[in-house]
Amino acid sequence: MSIEEQIRLDVELNEAEDKVFSQIDWENCPKHLAIIMDGNGRWAKAQGKPRTFGHKKGVDSIHAIVELCGKIPVDYVTFYAFSTENWKRTESEVSMLMGLFSSSLNKYIDELSAQGVRINVIGDLTKMSAKIQQEFAQASERTKDNKKICMNLALNYSGRADIARVTKEIATEVQSGTLDVNSVTEELITEKLYTGFMPEPELMIRTSGENRLSNFMLWENAYSEFYFTDVHWPDFREIHLFESILEFQNRHRKFGGL
Ligand code: IPE
Ligand code: IPE
Ligand code: MG
């Protein structure tokens, strides 16, 4: 059975989805997808609702996309959920988001775990509440052997802060004599980043029409293909992921060559 036929057994497709799906070469699917989930606030505002309503609906999109990624040949999907800069928002929005991370994890952990989803966090969780730290640590431990898909949540994440953290660690090792300065290579830095155990993302998606990285995986995205869509995150569904993968396959990746 081809990969496409296999996926068809698991994923129900409507006509529009099928049209895009059938054009994708599933032998060449990106292994790691990185997603900047943007536009929750604008989506809610457009309907005269508070920003928090958009965040709640955004969780449904994560749910749909993780489930789909478990059924297609994607091995890792990384969601940018809270940046170190997002603390600048109002206290009520930040506290609502913190509550949402915790309640959504509790709501979906059994289902995700049963579906073979590994849950992993990237970012500095020490700045978050003890409750959140404990809940995510438990979820990571509980799901660590799951193989279907690895879902990474970037929480209190900053690409620059991660590089600075690794730099400090390396400097400390060199200073104490446990690491030779000549062993400081790109590979070593890559390995020590939060994302060190995964391949680099081949495809980086940002929703809601903003064309920037906002401090997301600066090192890892060096050669990723960027896909920007005007769709707001709460509206992002299977069809949009298929469209992004298809577009990715039509790009010519040269990595500096000819
Ligand atoms: C993304 O949506 C969610 C987070 C950054 C937590 P936004 O909240 O940034 O929505 P907009 O950009 O204001 O519309
Ligand atoms: C990026 O979105 C961070 C997350 C999606 C968590 P923002 O909405 O915070 O980014 P800016 O402010 O538009 O750059
Ligand atoms: Mg935003």
CA atoms within 13 A on the CB side of 230: 0
Which of 236, 251, 149, 161 lies closest to 202, judged by CA? 251
The closest residue, in CA terms, to atom 13 on ligand 1 is 41
User: Phi-psi region for residue 143, left (φ > 0), alpha (ψ -120 to 50) or beta?
Assistant: alpha
Banded pLDDT at 61 (limits 50, 70, 90)? very high
In the chain, the domains with their CATH numbers are 27-157+200-210+231-247 (3.40.1180.10), 159-198 (no CATH)
pLDDT in tens, 104-160: 999 999 999 999 999 999 999 999 999 999 999 999 999 999 999 999 999 999 999
Mean pLDDT estimate for the chain: 98
The predicted-structure confidence for 71-95, as pLDDT tens digits, reads as follows 999 999 999 999 999 999 999 999 9
Q: Can 86 be counted among the known catalytic residues?
A: yes
Per-residue model confidence (pLDDT) at position 222 = 98
Rounded CA separation 182/71 (Å): 43
Count CB neighbours of 112 within 10 A: 24
Residues belonging to the chain = 258
Report phi then psi at 154, rounded to 5: -90, 110
Q: List the beta bridge partners of residue 79.
A: 35, 153
Side by side, the strands of the sheet bearing 225-228 are 117-122, 149-157, 76-83, 32-36, 203-206, 225-228
Are the C-beta atoms of residues 85 and 214 closer than 8 Å to each other? yes
* 155 alpha carbon – ligand 1 mean position (Å): 14
Q: Which residues contact 50 (CB under 8 A, 6 or more apart)?
A: 44
- Annotated active-site residue 40? The verdict is no
Nearest to 42 by CA among 59, 64, 57: 57
> Measured in angstroms, how far is the CA atom of residue 203 from the centroid of ligand 1?
20
Question: What share of the chain has pLDDT > 70, as a percent?
Answer: 100
Pocket flag, ligand 1, residue 220 (CB < 6 Å): no
Phi-psi region of 50 (alpha: psi -120 to 50; beta: other; left: phi over 0): beta
Determine the average pLDDT of the residues in 94-106. Answer: 98
E-strand ranges in the chain read 32-36, 76-83, 117-122, 149-157, 203-206, 225-228
Q: Give the ligand 1 atom nearest the CA of 43.
A: 14
What are the distances in angstroms from CA 185 to CA 100, 131, 172? 39, 37, 15
Beta bridge partners of 32: 76
Q: How far is the CA of 173 from the centre of ligand 1 (A)?
A: 38
Predicted local distance difference test score (pLDDT) of residue 119: 98
Quick: pLDDT tens for 165-188.
999 999 999 999 999 999 999 999
* Shortest-distance Cα residue to atom 1 of ligand 1: 38
Nearest to 217 by CA among 154, 151, 136: 154
Residue 249: Cβ-neighbour burial (10 angstroms; 0-12, 13-18, 19+): middle
Q: What percent of the chain has pLDDT over 90?
A: 100
Q: Which of 18, 60, 75, 86 is catalytic?
A: 86
Ligand 2 binding pocket (C-beta < 6 A) is 36-38, 80-83, 86, 210, 212, 214
35, 37, 38: which to mutate for ligand 2, most atoms within 8 A of CB? 38
